[in-house]
Structure 1
Amino acid sequence: MAFTRREFGVSAAAGLAVAAVPGWSSAQITLGNKRIATVSDGYLNLPPEFLFDGLAPDVLQQALEQYGLPAGPLTPDVNVTLLREESRVVLFDAGAGPGFQESAGNLPGALDVLGVRPEEVTHVVFTHCHPDHLWGVLDDFDDLLFPRAAYLMGQREWDYWFDPETVDSIGSSRAAMAIGARRRMEQLEDKVQLFRDGEEILPGVAAVATPGHTPGHMSFEVRDGSDGVLVLGDAVGNHHVSFAEPGRPVGADQEPQKAAATRMRLLDQLAAGQMQLIGYHLPGGGIGRAERFGSGYRFVPAA
């Protein structure tokens, strides 16, 4: 049987994933008929300044020691959420794809190991348009990786990144992100469905505006009756600083003060209600809970 070029690429990616990713589905949740898992797209390599932008070197070293972080690159996990219910196969974000970092872009192979083919994905829902969330919509040949999927994104996030003036206003360090986002969004323009805060975008899935990391960042509350989980995206982007000191500005956020306010609100609600959460860059597959700890919070991974 002859392979199509997409099938060949997915098979090759599966082989790479086996070598690079120790677990395909790191954690799982069942909510009624909804089966939710996190699938590893790999990990990122980021300089410490990505979290601690603006700190003097000696203060940065103190912060790294305080949170037990390495002096070298930070390597946060990339957890794509997979929701399966009846005929729906839903991805929350699309991973980094082949053009961002060598340590990421493993999603096609990880899905293949789980028996999920790209053609079976019915919906791709975006939290925001940073490379590790959006760029994976295109394969090595610049074709849509999920050709039969509907694509859903918040109206404000779409407007911000699709605006041709964003590349000039976002700052030189993020200009490549804006260029890359626009190129991929042009391929989605005729397929995307836009929504606003509070809308039920799919049965049992509601959009929750969580701005700051990007201007239109969205999280998603997935519910079945009284049971639910909040898919955070990057609204809480790490398991150490942003839990222990949620009000502390983070260099990865485009609007640091607004992101900090969002983070404090979310963690207060999550800890008070003990609602499950899924974080895109949290360890152990990203599924767990927030609980109060001292003057802040801590991340408690799912058992």
Structure 2
Amino acid sequence: MLTRRHILTTAPLAAAATLLPARLWAGSTLTLGDVQIDTLSDGSLVLPGDFILGGMPQDEVAEIVARYGLPTDQLTPPCNVTLLRDGTRTVLLDVGSGPDFQPSAGKLAEAMDALGIGVEEVTHVLFTHGHPDHLWGLLDEFDEPVFPAAEFVMGQAEFDYWTDPDTVNSIGEARASFAVGAARRLAVIADTVRLVGDGEEVLPGITARLTPGHTPGHLAYEIGSAAAMVVGDAIGNHHVAFERPDWASGSDQDADMAATTRVALLERLAAEGMPMIGYHLPGGGIGRVEQAATGFRFSEM
């Protein structure tokens, strides 16, 4: 197994000419035999701290996040889109936010340009779940799929949830726009999307693993025979999610189920030493889970 880190820089000459800093795309590459996995930055989110930390024991939360150099009032998690290439297929796992969610996100097109990959080269898109920062980059300004040659794959339970007309009324006011946005985008691909279930080999060497709680039908994707796992938002940060995975998080739609899923997933990843790719984890998101004195810790690769 070979790992390496790279920094992609776009438009340095133009940036120098205007005295603006060049945009840097930090990512990681993981090579597994003939498979190359890159993480591409879609930018970052700007979230009120209580969106994730609300409801947790605040004294203990403050102590944990301070050790990571973070505040508790606002968090800016990165967004790592996974790109998998094996010489035949070019696969994206999630598509980022697009232009309609937050101005700090929706940068995937720039990251792909920096790597020299055109949207028409993408053969498959596998969705972990239907939240805006993972799904809303699906369509262009004309409501056409950004990746015109791609086959789209989503979990059956996740697709059913976001296309259910009752979801907008049951999801809660704070997330109602998530439901509206997901339903509109999924309607465009409803006749062609391939819907899959837990344990199904969605592509040769890629198996769907149901990891519910963050959303009802959230999927992780296992690559190879325990060679690596793309966990999406089943493990949503590198601090409290690792140190206290049993705590309920405000970012999860079913907090208790998500905590149960998170503990089981971290235990497996640590026991097997399996590399993982997390959507909101630092350094491009590729690393390993290590058992700690209490809970776990994320070790970048």
TM-score calculated relative to the size of structure 1: 0.89
Which piece of structure 1 moves more, 91-100 or 108-117?
Answer: 108-117
The equivalent of 2:25 in structure 1 is 23
Letter in 2 for 1:194: L
> Over aligned residues, Cα RMSD in angstroms?
1.9
Secondary structure at the counterpart of residue 197 of structure 1:
coil
- What is the distance in 2 between the residues matched to 1:236 and 1:84? 24
Percent identity (aligned): 53
1:20 to partner: Cα distance: 7.1
Secondary structure at the counterpart of residue 158 of structure 1:
helix
1:32 to partner: Cα distance: 1.4
Secondary structure at the counterpart of residue 23 of structure 1:
strand
For residues 165-244 of structure 1, the aligned pairs below 5 Å read 165-223=166-224, 228-244=227-243
1:4-40 deviations in whole A, cap 9, x for unaligned?
A: xxxxxxxxxx769x8674225x111111111111001
1:50 to partner: Cα distance: 1.1
Does the 8 Å CA contact 1:51/1:251 hold for their aligned counterparts? yes
1:86 to partner: Cα distance: 2.2
- What is the distance in 1 between the residues matched to 2:29 and 2:280? 16
Change (3 A) 1:34 1:58: closer
Does the 8 Å CA contact 1:111/1:117 hold for their aligned counterparts? yes
1:51 to partner: Cα distance: 1.1
Letter in 1 for 2:44: Y
Change (3 A) 1:70 1:171: same
The equivalent of 1:297 in structure 2 is 296
In the alignment, does 2:86 pair up with 1:85? yes
- What is the distance in 1 between the residues matched to 2:113 and 2:297? 34
Letter in 1 for 2:279: Y
Does the 8 Å CA contact 2:65/2:240 hold for their aligned counterparts? no
The equivalent of 1:249 in structure 2 is 248
1:65 to partner: Cα distance: 3.5
The equivalent of 1:265 in structure 2 is 264
1:113 to partner: Cα distance: 1.2
Letter in 2 for 1:219: A
The equivalent of 2:154 in structure 1 is 153
Which piece of structure 1 moves more, 158-167 or 227-236?
Answer: 227-236
The equivalent of 1:279 in structure 2 is 278
Letter in 2 for 1:277: M
Count of aligned residue pairs for this structure pair: 285
- What is the distance in 1 between the residues matched to 2:107 and 2:34? 27
Does the 8 Å CA contact 1:15/1:109 hold for their aligned counterparts? no
1:240-284 deviations in whole A, cap 9, x for unaligned?
A: 000001101110000000000001001111101100000000000
Does the 8 Å CA contact 1:40/1:106 hold for their aligned counterparts? yes
Change (3 A) 1:113 1:269: same
Change (3 A) 1:264 1:20: farther
For residues 1-150 of structure 1, the aligned pairs below 5 Å read 21-23=23-25, 26-54=27-55, 61=62, 64-65=65-66, 67-150=68-151
1:55 to partner: Cα distance: 5.1
1:70 to partner: Cα distance: 1.4
- What is the distance in 1 between the residues matched to 2:132 and 2:125? 15
1:288 to partner: Cα distance: 0.3
The equivalent of 2:3 in structure 1 is none
The equivalent of 1:4 in structure 2 is none
1:57 to partner: Cα distance: 7.0
Unaligned 5+ runs, structure 1: 1-13
Change (3 A) 1:60 1:206: closer
- What is the distance in 1 between the residues matched to 2:264 and 2:195? 25
Secondary structure at the counterpart of residue 298 of structure 2:
strand
TM-score calculated relative to the size of structure 2: 0.90
Letter in 2 for 1:247: D
Change (3 A) 1:227 1:31: farther
Change (3 A) 1:134 1:20: farther
The equivalent of 2:18 in structure 1 is none
